Each structure stands twice: as structure tokens, then as C-alpha cells.
């Protein structure tokens, strides 16, 4: 089912730790995660892991996806090589398909103008301000933010668990008490939350 396919952008210097919770739990709950790169060649993450992408950006269309995930990477701030991923995010948002961006990917979206009118967060406000974007008034001091129309999720680099929580809420992976319990277990190490998840 295309509605269950989630596309994960991968590129050199991809920040490994930022989407582990998200992709693992999506896969465990019936979603298929497909990796997407600019080209068909393998990419190497910040942690030195080589990934052979499933698809290229040209292969991916919003109507075939439930969500596009963009992670941080050094390349967001050192070159314009990842700009095509921000442009793909624009296509997703314009088609009404959600996008989730964490860490440096938020700066890429800011440069593309996608945060000018949407509630969002990132590492710190001045990190995004340095991009010259016009969305400063919509910046939120929060671990992770889903904008008002539910299409854009953003988070800073230290919040992979909060990022995952917002994705799960958006895609209906966990809801209500179970969503809260998942977050308490993985963010707060609250062992009592495990029983709620297993019920």
C-alpha cells in the first residue's frame, strides 16, 4: 500500500542517530521505509555506515508516499548539494503529503522558504535566522513541533524521541495513552510506561 510507504532521505554525512526510533517503530507497525538519495550510488552516514538507496529523488512522487523524512547532515550547512531534497519537500507539502525534518534539514527547509509561514522549531532560533529566512515569528521553543495543518514536523538534533512521537501521532502509529507511554519509556526511561504499551 502506498499509503504505508514512508520515504527516508539519505545522503553523505546523514546524522545516523536522528531517525532510528522513527524508522524502527514505523516498520514494526506496518509501514515500509524506502531510502531516497539524489543518485543511485551508495551514501555514507556521519557514523560511517554505507547505505545503498532504494530510490532516487526523481523516482519519488508525493502521491506514492505517506511521509518524507529529512535528517540532519553536515552538507545542509556547507554546500547546496542537498537543496534538491528541500525542493522535493516543497512538492510534498504542496500536494498535501507530510514532511518531517530534523536538525540541519530544518535549515534546508528555511532556505527553501518552507518555514516562512509555518510553526516550526530547530536546534536554536539563531541557527535558522542565519539562513536569512522570514519565518522567525513562527519559531517555537519546543522539542518538536507539528504545524497547524499537520503537514510539517520539525525538531532539533537532540530530540530524536520527540521527533518520532510527532511522526507517530501524525501517521496514527500510537495514539493517546499509548503515544504518551511510548514517549515516557524512550525519553524518560519510565519503566511503568512499558505496561501501558503492552496492554
Question: Which residues make Cβ contacts (< 8 Å) with residue 120, sequence separation at least 6?
Answer: 106, 109, 128, 135, 138, 139, 140, 145, 147, 152, 154
Catalytic choice (101, 103, 152, 161) = 103
Strands 152-155 and 144-146, by their bridges, are antiparallel
Stated length of the chain: 199
* Angstrom distance (rounded) from CA 133 to CA 171: 29
Strand partners, 102: 155
Report how far Cα 1 is from the mean position of its chain's Cα atoms.
Answer: 21
Residue 105, all three cell numbers: 534539514
Whether 133 is catalytic is no
Three-state SS annotation for 94-163 = HCCCCEEEECHHHHHHHHCCCCCCCCECCCCHHHHHCCCCCCHHHECCCCEEECCCCCEEEECCCCHHHH
Strands 152-155 and 99-102, by their bridges, are parallel
Catalytic site positions: 103
Amino acid at each position: 500500500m502506498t499509503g504505508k510507504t514512508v520515504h527516508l532521505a539519505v545522503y553523505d554525512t546523514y546524522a545516523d542517530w536522528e531517525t532510528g526510533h522513527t524508522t524502527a517503530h514505523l516498520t514494526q507497525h506496518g509501514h515500509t521505509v524506502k531510502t531516497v538519495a539524489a543518485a543511485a550510488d551508495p551514501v555514507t552516514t556521519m557514523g560511517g555506515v554505507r547505505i545503498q538507496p532504494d530510490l532516487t529523488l526523481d523516482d519519488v512522487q508525493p502521491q506514492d508516499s505517506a511521509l518524507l523524512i529529512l535528517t540532519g547532515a553536515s552538507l545542509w550547512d556547507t554546500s547546496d548539494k542537498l537543496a534538491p531534497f528541500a525542493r522535493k519537500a516543497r512538492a510534498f507539502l504542496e500536494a498535501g503529503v507530510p514532511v518531517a525534518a530534523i536538525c540541519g534539514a530544518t535549515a534546508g527547509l528555511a532556505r527553501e522558504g518552507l518555514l516562512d509561514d509555518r510553526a516550526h522549531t530547530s536546534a536554536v532560533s539563531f541557527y535558522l535566522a542565519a539562513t536569512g529566512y522570514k519565518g522567525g515569528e513562527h519559531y517555537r521553543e519546543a522539542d518538536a513541533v507539528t504545524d497547524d495543518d499537520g503537514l510539517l514536523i520539525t525538531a532539533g538534533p537532540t530530540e530524536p524521541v520527540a521527533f518520532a512521537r510527532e511522526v507517530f501521532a501524525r501517521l496514527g502509529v500510537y495514539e493517546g495513552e499509548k503515544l504518551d507511554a511510548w514517549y515516557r519509556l524512550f525519553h524518560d526511561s519510565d519503566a511503568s510506561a512499558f505496561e501501558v504499551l503492552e496492554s
